[in-house]
Chain A
Amino acid sequence: MTRSPHLDPRLVAVVAVGGAVGTAARWTLTQTVGTAPSGWPTATFVENLLGSFLLGALLEALLRRGEESGRGTVVRLGAGTGVLGGFTTFSSLAIEMERLLAAGQVTLALVYGALSVVLGLLACVAGVALAARHHRWRHERLRLPDEAP
Chain B
Amino acid sequence: MSLLLVSLVSVVGGIGAATRFVVDGSVRSRWTRVFPLATLVVNVSGSLLIGLLTGASLYHGLGPRWLVVGATGFCGGFTTFSTAMVETVRLIQAGDLRRATVNAVGSVLLCLGAAAVGVGIMAV
Contact = CB atoms under 8 A, between A and B. Distances in A.
Contacts of B1: 31
Interface in A9-58: 11-13, 15-24, 26-27, 30-31, 48, 51-52, 54-56
B89 to A, nearest CB: 5
A6 B18 CA distance: 9
Contacts of A24: 6, 9-10, 13
Interface residues of A, number: 57
What is the interface of chain A mostly: helix, strand, loop, or mixed? helix
Interface stretch (A66-74, A85-93, A141-149): A85-93
Given A4-B29, A24-B10, A94-B114, A55 B108 contact: no
A130 interface: no
Which of A15, A91, A120 has the most chain B CB within a 10 Å cutoff? A91
Given A30-B72, A56-B86, A121-B88, A94 B112 contact: yes
Interface of A: 4-7, 11-13, 15-24, 26-27, 30-31, 48, 51-52, 54-56, 59, 77, 81-82, 84-95, 97-99, 101-102, 113, 116-117, 120-121, 123-125, 128
